[in-house]
Structure 1
Amino acid sequence: MRSVFLVAFLIAGLTSTATEAAPFCLWRAPWGKDMAGKPDRWLNLTVVQYIDVTDTDVHIVFGGGNLGSGHDLHIQVKNRDEAQKILKELNDTAKACDRDERSS
């Protein structure tokens, strides 16, 4: 039984395309409470660790590493639907970057 599963797994791996993430994927962050009066900010989506979505805020944590080197970005929203639109935009941008990376 194990050998049948292993063979099926290997065949599936050989016939499917490799999934690779783009090494650099820019997303233009909208103005948020920590960005008032600052220039445009572009976020490299490949370094995002997690995203919290609430009714009033989209909180993106990125670039973490040793010794507390992580950063975060808060984007104020009016409601959960607006937050979901931002999340969809992030997801769509990341997918587009991955498609571009695979086609190059």
Structure 2
Amino acid sequence: LIPKRVFSAVSNGGRASLLEVLRPASRFDLTGFEAAIDEADAAMSLDPVITWLAARENAHLNRMSYLHPVSALPVVHYIAMKVKEVKDLRIITRGLMAGLPADVVEAHVI
């Protein structure tokens, strides 16, 4: 777990201190995260970071469900994928009902 003092240092130090806290983690894809942050800066939106985090979560759930097939993890993965599917369908429906172009709707479906 991350100590509370680290959270206060990150909140005061901004992006650079956040990256410094994440850098020692061996299993964290820092280059992918930095690329998502740079893309978010260019787009002036957090969508790239959210998409990156969601893809990472889905990959981790998938990996864990295959590593532990006789546990509850495959069920958790299945439910998470169904929740994602419902959210995607809602985004598509609401986007089309609002008259958004297909490429805009597609960009928001993770």
TM-score, with length taken from structure 2 = 0.30
Structure with the larger RCO, 1 or 2 (CA within 8 Å, 6+ apart): 1
TM-score, with length taken from structure 1 = 0.31
- The structure having more radius of gyration, on CA atoms, is 1
More helix by share: 2
More strand by share: 1
